[in-house]
């Protein structure tokens, strides 16, 4: 049975993100980087991943997004219990929704909302956060399908996001399982139509992990490149969205092939967006891949050029700060992915990012879309 969800009180302030934040987020004494005089044709953003697991850090993440660009990424697992048949939207879900809407509006941000149904801590091999009554079920289960579609509709109605990803890095979950791929493609199509019916302006997509799609990651689960997954969603993706973390596959930015992102145009006619990205500022402990502060800054320059060349509508860096809690957790691989250190001190990449973000934003096809 189709349910309709509407948030009636949008001004409610959630205590978890209601603490007022002050100050800038770069170096303690440094002024923000000025524009270099060039223009920019794509929007820039960061996610709400906080540097610490506390209320102030979550508030700071929205403020940092407002300083660093025009977009913010909210990415989370569905609150399955609220949306399974017979469930009801909890106070926690409604309160979080209201507070996040208020934060997005306060900082005049566009929203990229990613519904992330799988467990990143286990390599995305199962659905995350299902209640005990549904533990171990997949997208082949009717209850899971109904909950996923209902939550997508809830997000579309209440958040009215600019972009809505119905699944994050789904190639990691779907590769090698034809039945589950069929089931997800089908439920995605239903959710896509439901979202477009209530928020037609929202650009709907699903994200793919780009390095894994090319079988570049140093894992035991090597496979043939999985470009064919893109075709399964053809006609139901308004943009083609990827996550990309090339420092997991390359030691240096200059090692990344020149056609690394442009090759994607051979497999899709939709605009390409980067839903999340990063490059480590320190080498990995296991020696697989690369990373340094200089290489991270070089990658920011590389992605700014690629986004302009490919006329991407948006590019989002995943972590504003290094997450201080990363070590020993599922976020361990992102321990040095931030543009800022966990204590707020700047990395060279932060200044490079700010310089680009302060370029005047113009339409990609306009006469102004060029460097002086």
- Tens of pLDDT, residue by residue over 85-124, are 999 999 999 999 999 999 999 999 999 999 999 999 888 9
Strand 203-205 versus strand 207-209 pairing type: unpaired
Query: Is 365 inside a domain boundary?
Result: no
Kindly report each contact of residues 2-10 with a partner whose C-beta sits within 8 Å and lies 24 or more positions away, as own/partner: 2/150, 3/150, 3/153, 4/153, 4/157, 5/89, 5/150, 5/153, 5/154, 5/157, 5/158, 6/157, 6/158, 7/94, 7/97, 7/98, 7/101, 7/157, 7/158, 9/98, 10/98, 10/101, 10/102
- The residue among 250 and 24 whose pLDDT is bigger is 250
Q: pLDDT band at 43, cuts 50/70/90?
A: very high
> Which residue is it, tokens 């820039």?
44
- pLDDT recorded at residue 288: 76
Query: Is 8 inside a domain boundary?
Result: no
Query: Is 268 inside a domain boundary?
Result: yes
Lowest-confidence pick of 226-230, 296-300, 326-330? 326-330
- Rounded mean pLDDT of the chain? 89
For residue 304, the enclosing domain spans 25-357
In the chain, the N- to C-terminal Cα span, in Å, equals 57
Residues 162-180 have a mean pLDDT of: 94
28 Cβ contact list (under 8 Å, min separation 6): 344, 345
For the cut 80, the answer to whether the pLDDT of residue 62 exceeds it is yes
Query: Is 50 inside a domain boundary?
Result: yes
Q: pLDDT band at 42, cuts 50/70/90?
A: very high
Quote the Cα angle for 54-70-124, to 5°.
Answer: 55
Instruction: Provide the number of structural domains found in the chain.
Output: 1
SS3 state of residue 226: coil
Query: Is 215 inside a domain boundary?
Result: yes
φ/ψ (deg, to 5) at 159: -85, -25
- pLDDT recorded at residue 294: 98
The rounded distance, in Å, linking the Cα atoms of 338 and 336 is 6
Q: pLDDT band at 27, cuts 50/70/90?
A: very low
Beta-carbon-side half-sphere exposure of residue 84 (alpha carbons within 13 Å): 15
Residues 356-363 have a mean pLDDT of: 95
- pLDDT recorded at residue 369: 62
Query: Is 32 inside a domain boundary?
Result: yes
Q: Model's pTM, two decimal places? A: 0.91
For the cut 70, the answer to whether the pLDDT of residue 337 exceeds it is yes
Within the chain, residue ranges assigned H as helices are 55-68, 80-83, 91-106, 142-159, 170-174, 178-198, 210-213, 228-232, 293-309, 348-357
Query: Is 99 inside a domain boundary?
Result: yes
CATH of the domain at 146: 3.20.20.80
φ/ψ (deg, to 5) at 112: -110, 110
φ/ψ (deg, to 5) at 323: -70, 120
Query: Is 15 inside a domain boundary?
Result: no
- pLDDT recorded at residue 88: 98
For the cut 50, the answer to whether the pLDDT of residue 175 exceeds it is yes
Residues 177-192 have a mean pLDDT of: 97
């Amino acid at each position: 049975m189709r349910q309709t969800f509407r948030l009636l009180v949008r001004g409610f302030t959630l205590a978890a993100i209601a603490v007022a934040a002050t100050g800038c987020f770069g170096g303690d004494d440094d002024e923000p980087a000025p524009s270099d005089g060039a223009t920019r044709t794509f929007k820039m953003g960061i996610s709400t991943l906080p540097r610490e697991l506390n209320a102030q850090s979550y508030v700071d993440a929205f403020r940092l997004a407002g300083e660093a660009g025009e977009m913010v990424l909210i990415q989370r697992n569905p609150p399955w219990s609220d949306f399974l048949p017979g469930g009801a939207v909890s106070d926690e879900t409604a309160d979080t929704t209201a507070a996040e809407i208020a934060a997005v509006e306060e900082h005049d941000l566009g929203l990229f909302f990613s519904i992330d149904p799988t467990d990143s801590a286990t390599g995305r091999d199962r659905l995350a956060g299902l209640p005990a009554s549904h533990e171990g079920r997949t997208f082949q289960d009717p209850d899971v399908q109904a909950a996923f579609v209902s939550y997508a509709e809830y997000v579309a109605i209440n958040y009215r996001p600019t972009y809505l990803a119905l699944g994050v890095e789904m190639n990691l979950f779907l590769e090698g399982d034809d039945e589950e791929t069929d089931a997800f493609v089908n439920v995605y199509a239903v959710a896509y139509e439901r979202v477009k019916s209530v928020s037609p302006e929202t650009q709907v997509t699903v994200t793919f992990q780009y390095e894994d799609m090319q079988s570049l990651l140093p894992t035991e689960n090597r496979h043939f490149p999985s470009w064919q997954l893109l075709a399964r969603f053809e006609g139901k993706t308004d943009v083609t969205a990827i996550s990309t973390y090339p420092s997991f596959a390359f030691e240096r930015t200059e090692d990344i092939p020149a056609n690394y992102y442009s090759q994607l145009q051979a497999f899709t006619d939709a605009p390409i967006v980067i839903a999340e990205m990063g490059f480590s500022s320190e080498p990995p402990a296991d020696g697989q891949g690369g990373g340094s502060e200089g290489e991270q800054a070089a990658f920011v320059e590389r992605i700014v050029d690629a986004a302009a060349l490919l006329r991407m509508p948006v590019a989002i860096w995943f972590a504003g700060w290094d997450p201080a809690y990363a070590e020993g957790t599922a976020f361990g691989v992102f321990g040095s992915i931030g543009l800022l250190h966990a204590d707020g001190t700047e990395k060279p990449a932060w200044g490079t990012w700010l310089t680009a973000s302060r370029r005047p934003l113009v339409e990609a096809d306009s006469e102004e879309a060029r460097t002086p």
